[in-house]
Amino acid sequence: MAWNEPGGGNNQQDPWGGGGGRRPSGNGGNNGGGNQGPPDLDEALKKFQDKINRLLGGRGKRSGSGGGEGSGGGGKRNPFVLPILVLIVAVVIWAGSGFHLIDQSERGVVFRLGKYTDTLNPGLHWNPPIIDRVDNVNVTSIRSATQTDSMLTSDENIVRVSVSTQYVVSDAHAFLVNVNEPEMTLQNAMDSALRQEVGNMHLQEILTTGRDRLGQRIFDRLTAYMDAYGTGLRLQTVNVESTAPPDQVQNAFDDVIRAREERQRSINQANAYSQAVVLEAKGQKQRLVEEANGYKAAVVSDATGQTNRFNSLLGEYRQAPDVTRQRLYLETISQVLSNTPKALVDLGDSNAVTVLPLNQMQAGGNTSGKSDSSSMSMQQLEQISRQVVDHMNSGSQQPTRSTSLREGR
């Protein structure tokens, strides 16, 4: 018979029951009990259930030693125990599932019963499940969209343009609430802005120098569209990837482009030649100006010197006119004869004309051992010089008398 089996013999009943038995405290006992082991798992669960029943208003299970209730007797079990336990567990699970973590690159948009209530920043948050719905939106990742289409220009030509844009979500609430499909709205707005701006430009401008300006104008117009729609998107860049004419006329456009490049190359060469010629002309001009300034300075200096010399002679002339005139005449004759190899002297009274070989006389004066004709020339020169001086003196007194001095070759 088991140790906790009711009735019979010297065995004690359940030591934790309501009978008169006592729980052994040692390794053994002398009152017919023997060694007692620990309670089994079933008994522990029953005691826990009794405590729950008492807490919930029921009656716990009891055991007696006499003619009272047996081990199967006890209070009436509460029928709401299990549902309450299930409810408690459900509440715990529900409350625990309300915790959620928002990443640093995200924002949480809270909808309570379908209505927007708040935007959550990064961190750990709790919202009641089922009642609140939290949608996380990445606001740091860069997204892209591309639009390629053929359209008309302002000069009624067809051009194929490809445009790409990069954008981020700037307002998570507006991104989820204001527009049903923000990215599709962006695509439609890109198409509208592209057609509008291409239609305001010429084909030649779009294909060559106007691509950057076209991209900036599309960016401005598309930004205005996004702000007006309230999509919660912020544009980063708009790039014009390619602009090309239709395939049917591509060869003709290539020829035009080559001709334009050749024209530009010729213009550049002409500009380079023009600059070289202009620089050379400026150099010549500067050189001529400097030469003219030098000549001017020389002429002015010479004139100034002559003026000073004349002024100095003027004072002497006023003091002694005849002497000054004679000295000036002799200086002039000396200067003229020094550059003349031969001179003819007309003495006036006689018909003879005397030739003065000045160069030979100079050479004869410096060289010894010359012929007699050379020595005679020196004597004649002295005589003629005296005659010339006398003749000039007499000529100054008689103006009507003719005396001529002719230079020879």
Query: For residue range 168-195, what is the model confidence (pLDDT) as tens digits?
Result: 998 888 888 888 888 999 999 999 999 9
Among residues 195, 221, 246, which one ends one of the domains?
Answer: 246
Residue 119: strand pairing partners: 109
pLDDT at 116: 86
Among residues 136, 157, 189, which one ends one of the domains?
Answer: 136
Separation in Å, CA 367 to CA 315, 342, 404: 43, 19, 31
Give every CB contact of residue 287 below 8 A, 6+ residues apart in sequence: none
How crowded is residue 144: how many other Cβ atoms within 10 Å of its Cβ?
11
CATH number at residue 167: 3.30.479.30
pLDDT at 330: 80
pLDDT at 408: 43
Residue 123: strand pairing partners: 102
Residue 233: strand pairing partners: 169
The answer to whether 68 and 83 have CB atoms below 8 angstroms apart is: no
Residue 360 lies in a domain: no
Same domain, 236 and 198: yes
How crowded is residue 13: how many other Cβ atoms within 10 Å of its Cβ?
20
pLDDT at 320: 83
The answer to whether 163 and 216 have CB atoms below 8 angstroms apart is: no
Q: Which segments in the chain show pLDDT lower than 50?
A: 1-35, 60, 62-74, 368-377, 396, 398-409
Judged by DSSP in three states, 399 sits in coil
Sheet with strand 115-120: strands edge to edge: 115-120, 106-112, 132-138
Note down the domain range covering 178: 141-246
Same domain, 104 and 148: no
pLDDT at 359: 59
pLDDT at 407: 45
Residue 132 lies in a domain: yes
pLDDT at 331: 80
pLDDT at 108: 87
Structure-token match 């006398």, residue found: 390
pLDDT at 346: 62
Judged by DSSP in three states, 178 sits in coil
Residue 356 lies in a domain: no
Give the separation between CA 215 and CA 217, rounded to whole angstroms: 6
The answer to whether 117 and 110 have CB atoms below 8 angstroms apart is: yes
The answer to whether 29 and 15 have CB atoms below 8 angstroms apart is: no
Same domain, 175 and 236: yes
> How many domains does the chain fold into?
2
Residue 332 corresponds to which amino acid?
T
Residue 21 lies in a domain: no
Residue 115 lies in a domain: yes
Secondary structure of 361-396 in HEC code, one letter for each residue: HHHHHHCCCCCHHHHHHHHHHHHHHHHHHHHHHHHH
pLDDT at 2: 45
Residue 221 lies in a domain: yes
Same domain, 129 and 154: no
pLDDT at 56: 58
Give the separation between CA 376 and CA 126, rounded to whole angstroms: 146
pLDDT at 76: 56
Token duo for residue 282: 């400026």
